[in-house]
Amino acid sequence: MKKVELLAPAGDFERLRFAILYGADAVYIGGQNYSLRANSTNFSIKEIEEACKYVHDRNKKIYVAVNIVFHNEDVGGLENYLIDLYKCKVDAIIVSDPVVISIARKVIPKMEIHISTQQSTMNYESANFWKNEGVTRIVLARELNKDDIKMIVEKSGLEVETFIHGAMCVSYSGRCVLSNYFTNRDSNRGGCSQICRWNFDLYNETEKINDSTCFSIAVKDLNMCSKINELIDIGVSSLKIEGRMRSIYYISNVINIYRKIIDSYYNNINIDIDSCNYELFRCANRDAVVQYFDKKPGVEEQYYLDRDEVSNKDFLGLVIDYDDLNKEIIVEQRNYFKAGDFITIFGPNTSKFSFKVEYIKDEDKNIIDVARHPQQVVRIPCNKRVYKDDIIRVKFTIDI
Amino acid sequence: MTKILVSPVNLQNFDNLKEKNIDGFIFGIKDYSVFFNCELNVEQIKNIKDKNIYIAINKMIYNKDIDNIKDILIELDSIGVSGVIFEDLSILNIVNELKLNINLIYNQIHFATNYYSMDFWYNKGIKNVFLSTELMLNDYINIKNNCSMSTFVYIYGYIPIFYSSRQLLTNYFKFTNKKKENDCYFIKNKDNKYLIYEKNDETIIYDDVINGLVEVKDLVNNNIDFLVLNGLNHEEKEFSDVVDIYIKAINGEDISNMYNNMKFKNKGFLYKKSIYKVKL
């Protein structure tokens, strides 16, 4: 039985590094053209080459999204870009527009092709269409329930990838151009301005009918941490986390938690899903639910009123080294913390543990009461050895 | 020569329109169509004589729908409809698997935006494409000049801009403990009102009616094959009048005064380029 893949987003090299470090089996990225996060940092060809080497050196995989819906003027340069990706040794490209398939077949026939969720593949007949085109994997539409996914796995024989965590399109993917019409930004070419999160007044033919509760189509995020076992059981090949523009803190946390859930499945170990859910909630600060897997989502899966999305201050710092002699952690600060606070540390090789900060020293080893400056380097005492790139966060009151 | 296709408001409207110089009609099919007002079942389609009939099976298709879709396609093949307008690629796969002789019109909404992709679909045996409404006038002409497919341009009607599997109106009314009076409301952004419509447990949002009457001449001169008018959310008389004006435009009559008196003047993206990179 092939182990399911945990697939992480990476908006830049730093995020990619943390995704791999915290347990992703593969990452997906975008180049500086042709991907649906046109306004994120993304990767130059040189960076893609470096990323491929980094990932392959660790026996992981890397996929590149080439998933815009092209207009005529966008196609120029695509052929050379695809050749470059092949030379970089990218493992697969993720596409929604068949122009990419046509050109890829011509210039890089050995490149694996994954069909993007933008195509909204909803059924086994559509999956089989793509299979006949030589596609090896389908990223399924998010609207499918367990039986739908299972049937597509069984009747197509393709690798099936499903989203397990992160933001959702409210529409069928690729079938929303609200952004084009409201802000002139082309959603299917990476310019989506998330109109689905706006509030609106609602009218009948003649008058406004909403009171203070504005009309909203916004939906909660996806969280499938309680369904991972079932997804593996029905034969899904790859479990995908959404969010190429998310922070390293978010990526590290989410990947770390799903890594543990997946490994627990294969090792027949029970895991506390409530605890996972809480940690996942804390790192996004948006409600997240199962959405379509068990039933068609309704009012409980939507967001109304003002949402609680305050800036998250949980991420306190990043371990940059450990001073064995003085038994001190050297930390790059990310959010305010002070002596006396309780903090939690976890990392790729560090099991989560918590303790009270007895003192803080600055770089010159002077005692200070507070670490208040972003990226300030400070020292805190800790008898337990920790490692570079471990994450330091607030200790949650219900930390388990 | 450019032809005119009309999707009527209802069957009564169809009866009135079929006496006019219209080349064909588009109908939805019960349970499997979106964006078109007038939906028929297979028996009703069988009973329509003497006109070119195009059937839109353009809803998103789930596994549970596949057997019904197969039955419908077999029936439509035997009836000999002029074409099937499709969104979901299952339709293409089924038509190929069953070796049906159905003229397919590719209509993956918002995806028909370049002529390179049209070559891909043409090579799969699809001879017609419904071009996306987010294109500029020049794009329509450019695609027509560079692809082998017959081109359908949506020239008049509410523009679908959002299609969700969720019941977004029902959910909102449940949340606010209010009664949903009907399936059709409007949301407002700045001065624009957008029709929001719940149907078959799904929700669609439309931009205001596009009216490309003035552009008919350019499209005809550049050999666009079909111009499509949609009577969705129109009164019969209002829509019949619009159709009359478009017939005149296609026949080369001067329509400038008529255009000035029309209710809708939205040009969509005909002259507006959408952007996707904020920073260059």
Residue B56 and residue B167: Cα distance in Å, rounded?
A: 22
What is the interface size between A and B, counted as CB pairs within 8 Å? 210
Residue B127 and residue A34: Cα distance in Å, rounded?
A: 27
Please, which residues 209-268 of chain B have a Cβ atom closer than 8 Å to chain A? Answer: none
Q: Is pLDDT at A400 greater than 70 in this prediction?
A: no
Burial class (CB in 10 A: 0-12, 13-18, 19+), A291: buried
Q: Is pLDDT at B278 greater than 70 in this prediction?
A: no
Q: Is pLDDT at A62 greater than 80 in this prediction?
A: yes
A251: phi then psi, degrees, rounded to nearest 5: -60, -45
Check residue B49 and give its pLDDT.
77
Q: Do B61 and A177 touch (CB under 8 A)?
A: no
Q: Which of A112-126, A230-244, A294-308, B256-270 has the lowest mean pLDDT?
A: A294-308
Q: Is pLDDT at A39 greater than 90 in this prediction?
A: no
Q: Is pLDDT at A325 greater than 50 in this prediction?
A: yes
The full set of domain ranges for chain A reads: 5-172+219-301, 315-394
Please state the CATH superfamily assignment of the domain spanning residues A315-394 in this structure.
Translation factors (2.40.30.10)
Nearest-Cα residue of chain A relative to residue B207: A181
Q: Is pLDDT at B22 greater than 70 in this prediction?
A: yes
Check residue A199 and give its pLDDT.
93
Check residue A339 and give its pLDDT.
97
What single DSSP character describes residue A214?
-
Q: Which of A35-44, A160-169, A217-226, A356-365 has the lowest mean pLDDT?
A: A35-44
What is the distance in angstroms between the Cα of B12 and the nearest Cα belonging to chain A?
24
Residue B155: closest CA among B226, B229, B74, B236:
B229
Residue A391: closest CA among A330, A331, A342, A347:
A347
Query: Whole-angstrom distance between the N-terminal and C-terminal Cα of chain A?
Result: 32
Check residue B274 and give its pLDDT.
85
Q: Is pLDDT at A36 greater than 90 in this prediction?
A: no
**Coil vs helix vs strand at B235:** coil
Pairing of strands A159-166, A137-139: parallel
Token output for B257: 């005064």
* Cα dihedral across residues B69, B72, B76, B82: positive or negative: negative
Q: pLDDT, tens digit, for every residue of B155-200?
A: 999 999 999 999 999 999 999 999 999 999 999 988 889 999 999 8
Mean pLDDT of B71-92: 98
Token output for A301: 């899966």
Say which residues have a Cβ less than 8 Å from residue B225's Cβ, sequence separation at least 6: B2, B3, B128, B144, B150, B151, B152
Chain A residue numbers touching B60 (CB-CB < 8 A): 120, 122, 141, 143, 172, 175
A307: phi then psi, degrees, rounded to nearest 5: -85, 150
CA dihedral (A239, A98, A152, A59) in degrees, to 10, reads -30
Q: Do B120 and A72 touch (CB under 8 A)?
A: no
Q: ipTM strictly over 0.90?
A: yes
Residue B115 and residue A221: Cα distance in Å, rounded?
A: 36
Question: Nearest CB to B161: which of A70, A172, A177?
Answer: A177
- DSSP per-residue letters across B103-124: -EEE--TTT---HHHHHHHHHT
Residue A360: closest CA among A387, A393, A338:
A338
Mean pLDDT of B10-28: 96
Residue A320 and residue A252: Cα distance in Å, rounded?
A: 15
Residue A261 and residue A268: Cα distance in Å, rounded?
A: 10
pTM: 0.96
The full set of domain ranges for chain B reads: 3-156+210-251
Which residue would you say has higher pLDDT here, A92 or A1?
A92
Nearest-Cα residue of chain B relative to residue A150: B63
Q: Is pLDDT at B123 greater than 70 in this prediction?
A: yes
Check residue B279 and give its pLDDT.
54
Q: Is pLDDT at A396 greater than 60 in this prediction?
A: yes
Name the CATH architecture for the domain at B3-156+210-251: Alpha-Beta Barrel (3.20)
Residue B236: closest CA among B76, B37, B89, B49:
B37
CB neighbourhood size of B145 (10 A): 11
User: In terms of DSSP H, where are the helices of B60-175?
Assistant: 66-79, 89-97, 115-123, 137-146, 168-175
**Coil vs helix vs strand at B142:** helix
What single DSSP character describes residue A373?
S
CB neighbourhood size of A97 (10 A): 30
User: In terms of DSSP H, where are the helices of A208-284?
Assistant: 228-233, 248-266, 273-284
Mean pLDDT, chain B, integer: 95
What is the distance in angstroms between the Cα of A126 and the nearest Cα belonging to chain B?
4
**pLDDT confidence band for B280 (50 / 70 / 90):** very low
**Cβ pair A147, B130 in contact under 8 A:** no
Nearest-Cα residue of chain A relative to residue B147: A72
**Cβ pair A60, A7 in contact under 8 A:** no
Residues above pLDDT 70, as percent of chain A? 98
Burial class (CB in 10 A: 0-12, 13-18, 19+), B252: exposed
Chain B residue numbers touching A177 (CB-CB < 8 A): 110, 134, 161-162
Q: Is pLDDT at A59 greater than 80 in this prediction?
A: yes
* Cα dihedral across residues A242, A245, A249, A252: positive or negative: positive
Q: Is pLDDT at A311 greater than 80 in this prediction?
A: no
CB neighbourhood size of A352 (10 A): 18
Please, which residues 202-261 of chain A have a Cβ atom closer than 8 Å to chain B? Answer: 202-205, 209-211, 213, 215-217, 219
Q: Is pLDDT at A310 greater than 80 in this prediction?
A: no
Q: Is pLDDT at A309 greater than 70 in this prediction?
A: no
**pLDDT confidence band for A312 (50 / 70 / 90):** confident
Tell me if chain B has a CB within 8 Å of the CB of A148.
yes
Check residue B81 and give its pLDDT.
97
What single DSSP character describes residue B52?
-
Which residue would you say has higher pLDDT here, A39 or B237?
B237
Q: What is the CATH number of domain A5-172+219-301?
A: 3.20.20.70
Q: Is pLDDT at A308 greater than 70 in this prediction?
A: no
Check residue A398 and give its pLDDT.
67
Residues in a beta bridge with B196:
B185, B205
- Residue A272 CA: distances (Å) to CA of A21, A233, A279: 23, 19, 11
Q: What is the largest CA-CA distance in chain B?
A: 57
Q: What's the Rg (C-alpha) of chain A? A: 22
Q: pLDDT, tens digit, for every residue of A184-228?
A: 999 999 889 999 999 999 999 989 999 888 999 999 999 999 999
Q: Do A97 and B90 touch (CB under 8 A)?
A: no
* Cα dihedral across residues A126, A130, A135, A136: positive or negative: positive
Nearest-Cα residue of chain A relative to residue B181: A204
Residue B248 and residue B244: Cα distance in Å, rounded?
A: 6
**Coil vs helix vs strand at A219:** strand
Q: Is pLDDT at A122 greater than 90 in this prediction?
A: yes
